[in-house]
A and B are shown apart, each in its own frame.
Chain A
Amino acid sequence: MNNLTQVFKKRKAFISFVVAGDPNFNATVAHVVALANAGSDIVELGIPFSDPVADGPEIQAADLRAFKDHTTTERVFEMVTAIREQTQVPLVFLTYINIVFKYGYEAFTKRCAELGVSGLVIPDLPLEEQDELRPFADQFGINLIPLIAPTSPVERIQKIAKKATGFIYVVSSMGVTGVRNDIQTDLKALIENIRQVTDVPTAIGFGIHTPQQAATMAELADGVIVGSAIVHQIASGSTRQHTDLALTEYVTQVRTAIDKVSIAQN
C-alpha cells in the first residue's frame, strides 16, 4: 500500500496546502515543517503558476509573492530537499499542467520520486488528458490524484474513481479555491458514488476554513484539505516565527475537531 493511502488508515486525514516560495524559500521550509509537526498528515506544495485559473484571489496573491522571491520549478525541488532534512511527512505537488509539461513528464515524475514526493494534483488535467502523463507517473510510482467536482455525473465520477490512486480530491463546490461560509453540494451522495467503485480514500477541499466545517466534512469523507485559510495565515503573519506559531495553533484546532470525528466513527 502506498504512503498516501496509508495515512488515511490511522485517522481522518488533515491535508494542508502552501504555495512554495510564499513568501520565500526559507519560510516555506519552516512552514511545511510546522504544519507537519502540528499534525498535518499530508502537505500539498503548490508550484506557483502565472495564470492559476482554478485558484481564487488568496492563492493568486500567494503565487505572486512566490514569484517576487524568484521561485522557479528547480527552486521548489530544492525546497523539498531542505524540507526532507527535517520531516518525512508525505508530500504532493499541486500545480498546473504546463509546469509539468515544460519540465518534461518523464523528468518531472522521476524527480518527484527521487525527492520523495508521492503525488500530483493537477487541476487542469482532467481524466481525458491524463494518458500522456500516466505512463511516467506509473513508472516512477507517483500517484495522479484526480479531482471530482459537484458537476461530475455518476458515470463520470466512477470512471475517474476507478483510475485513482493515492487519494481522491473531492471539490466541495463550484468555482475556484477560496474560503466559503456555506457548502451546499450533496457531498454525501457524491462520496457514496465513489465508494461503490473504489476503496481509495477521499478528501474534501475548496472553501474549508473553520474547524467546525472541517469536522462536518470529515464526517463525510476520509480527509479534509485546507488551502486558502492556511495561505491567509501566511499572508497576514508579521514574522516567520509568528506565522509558524499561528499555523501550529490553527492546525491543532482543526486536528482536534476532526479527531473527534475519527473517535466518534470508530
Chain B
Amino acid sequence: MQETNHEKTENGRYGEYGGQYIPETLMTELQKLTAAYEHYKKDSEFQTELHNLLNNYANRPSLLYFAEQMTKDLGGAKIYLKREDLNHTGAHKINNVLGQALLAKRMGKTRVIAETGAGQHGVATATVAALFGMQCEIYMGKRDTDRQALNVYRMKLLGAKVHSVTTGSMVLKDAINAALQEWTQRCDDTAYIMGSATGPHPFPMMVRDFQSVISKESKAQILKAEKRLPDAIVACVGGGSNAIGSFANYIDNPEVQLIGCEAAGKGIETPLTAATLERGSEGIFHGMKSIFLQDQDGQIAPVYSISAGLDYPGVGPEHAYLAKTGRAQYVGITDDEAVDAFEYIAKTEGIICAIESAHAVAYVKKLAPKMRKDQIIICNLSGRGDKDVAAIAKYRGVNINE
C-alpha cells in the first residue's frame, strides 16, 4: 500500500467532491472504519502482512511488459503494459480486497459483502473470504449475472452466496444499492468491501491507497527500464479504481499525462452510454458528491456499455476532481472500438485482456501513432479476458457452445 501525498483528500473531500452522504444508520460504522483504517495504515505488522499477501498470494509485483509488436505496428510511442491481468483472480481487484478484508479481520468482522459488475471484484472478494475463513455474500445485477455467468459460478465455487439483483436497471448501480441496504441491516459483524474508488469516505481514499501499489510498482519499473518517467498513463474508468491506482503516484508529476477511458457504449451522443465525465453533471449519490449521468431532476439515468465493469452512472470523487482541475483527461471509447482493441491486442501481443481494459487499449491505438518514438505510454491492463470471450463471440455473431 502506498499513501500518496495529496492534501485535497483531507476529510474525505477532493475539492468539493466526496463526502459521506449516507443514512444515519451507517454513519457510526463508517466512522469506525475510518478510524481503523487510519490506525492500521501506520501499523507495521498490518503493512507487512498485507505486503506478504500481495507478493506471495496475489503474485505481485505485476510485470511491466514492453509491448514491442504493438509499438512497431502503431509506429509511434513505446507502449508498456502493466499486467494486472496476471494477478491471482485475474484483475487488479485483488489488491484492494486483500487490504479491505485484512482490515475487516482486524476489526473483528466475520462476514463480508460486496457488489460486483463484471464479477471480478466479486471473485476477488469471494477468494479472499475463502482464504480468511469469512462468510461472503455478493450482490450482482441480473443483467450482469446473465452476461458474466462464468464469474457467477467461480464465486459459488469459492463458497460465496451470489444474490442476483432484480431492481432498477439490474446492473452495477443496483448491486451497490442492494449491498448498501444489506449493510444497513447488518453491520455489526459485516464489512462492506467496496470494489471501486467510489462511495462515502473512507472508501474512495482506501481503495485509492490499496490500488496505488500499481503506480508505485510501475514507476520503479519504468525508471529501471527507461531511466525516465512515462509521458502518458492510460487506464479504463468505470468507478475508477484501476485508473486511480495507476495514476496515484504520478499525480504530482505534471509532465506525466493521465488519461482515463470511459465506456461510451453506442456513442456519447446517444443515451446508450456510460461516459459519466463527458456527459454527466454534478450530483450526490451512493454516498458521494461527484459527477453522475442523471436527468435535470437528479434522477439517476440508466446506463449502457458492453462492459459490465464500466457500466456505472457515476465516477469516483477523485476522478471528478482530477477532471475538473484538468490534471487528468477523460475520453469515451465505444463498444465497437473496445471490441476491435480486444481482438487487436489478442492478435498482436497474444494477450486476451478484459473488455474493460480493452477500452484503454483502444485509446492507446489512437494515441501512440500521434506521439514520437522516444515517448512512452503505460497502459494498464486491469484484467484478463477469459470471462468476456463468450460475450465477444456473441457480439461478432458467433455462437459458441459453452
Q: Which residues of A contact B (CB under 8 A)?
A: 49-51, 53-54, 60, 67, 72-73, 97-99, 101-103, 123-129, 146-153, 156, 160, 171, 174-176
Stretch of B146-154, B178-186, B252-260 contacting A (4+ beta carbons < 8 Å)? B178-186
B168 at the interface (CB under 8 A from A): yes
Query: Interface 1/0s, chain B 148-181, versus A by CB < 8 A?
Result: 0000000000000000000110000110010011
Give the chain A neighbours of B28 by CB distance below 8 A. 149, 151-153, 156
User: In the assembly, what is the distance between CA of A146 and CA of B284, in Å?
Assistant: 18
Give the chain A neighbours of B297 by CB distance below 8 A. 72-73, 99, 102-103
Cβ–Cβ contact B177 & A98, under 8 A: no
Q: Which residues of B contact A (CB under 8 A)?
A: 19-29, 167-168, 173-174, 177, 180-181, 184-187, 282-287, 292, 294, 296-300
User: In the assembly, what is the distance between CA of A151 and CA of B186, in Å?
Assistant: 11
Knowing A97-B284, A175-B185, say if A50 contacts B24 (CB, 8 Å).
no
Knowing A51-B168, A129-B20, say if A171 contacts B283 (CB, 8 Å).
no
User: In the assembly, what is the distance between CA of A47 and CA of B132, in Å?
Assistant: 43
Knowing A98-B283, A98-B285, say if A53 contacts B25 (CB, 8 Å).
no
Give the chain A neighbours of B29 by CB distance below 8 A. 151
Give the chain A neighbours of B24 by CB distance below 8 A. 123, 126-127, 146-149, 151-152, 160, 171
Give the chain A neighbours of B187 by CB distance below 8 A. 151, 174
With both chains docked as a complex, state the minimum distance between the C-beta of B172 and any C-beta of chain A, in angstroms. Answer: 12
Which listed residue (B25, B185, B285) contacts A51, Cβ 8 A? B285
Show 8 A/B contacts (Cβ-Cβ < 8 Å), sorted by A: A51-B286, A53-B180, A53-B184, A98-B284, A98-B292, A129-B21, A146-B24, A176-B185
User: In the assembly, what is the distance between CA of A108 and CA of B26, in Å?
Assistant: 27
Q: Which of A67, A73, A153, A175 has the most CB of B within 10 A?
A: A175
Give the chain A neighbours of B177 by CB distance below 8 A. 51, 53
Give the chain B neighbours of A146 by CB distance below 8 A. 24
Given contact pairs A51-B285, A101-B298, A126-B24, a sample of 11 additional A-B residue pairs in the complex whose CB atoms are under 8 Å apart: A53-B180, A53-B286, A73-B298, A98-B298, A102-B297, A102-B298, A128-B19, A147-B23, A151-B27, A151-B29, A174-B25
Give the chain A neighbours of B184 by CB distance below 8 A. 53-54, 174-176
Nearest chain B residue, comparing its CB with the CB of A160: B24
Give the chain B neighbours of A102 by CB distance below 8 A. 283, 294, 296-298
Give the chain A neighbours of B286 by CB distance below 8 A. 51, 53
Nearest chain A residue, comparing its CB with the CB of B25: A149
With both chains docked as a complex, state the minimum distance between the C-beta of B26 and any C-beta of chain A, in angstroms. Answer: 8
Which listed residue (A124, A151, A153) contacts B284, Cβ 8 A? A124
Cβ–Cβ contact A54 & B23, under 8 A: yes
User: In the assembly, what is the distance between CA of A176 and CA of B167, in Å?
Assistant: 15
User: In the assembly, what is the distance between CA of A54 and CA of B285, in Å?
Assistant: 12
With both chains docked as a complex, state the minimum distance between the C-beta of A159 and any C-beta of chain B, in angstroms. Answer: 11
Which listed residue (B20, B174, B283, B300) contacts A128, Cβ 8 A? B20
Shortest 6 CB-CB contacts between residues of A and residues of B: A102-B298, A175-B185, A149-B25, A98-B298, A50-B299, A149-B24
With both chains docked as a complex, state the minimum distance between the C-beta of B282 and any C-beta of chain A, in angstroms. Answer: 8
Which listed residue (B23, B27, B292, B294) contacts A53, Cβ 8 A? B23
Q: Which of A98, A123, A150 has the most CB of B within 10 A?
A: A98
Which listed residue (A50, A103, A148) contacts B168, Cβ 8 A? A50
Cβ–Cβ contact A99 & B27, under 8 A: no
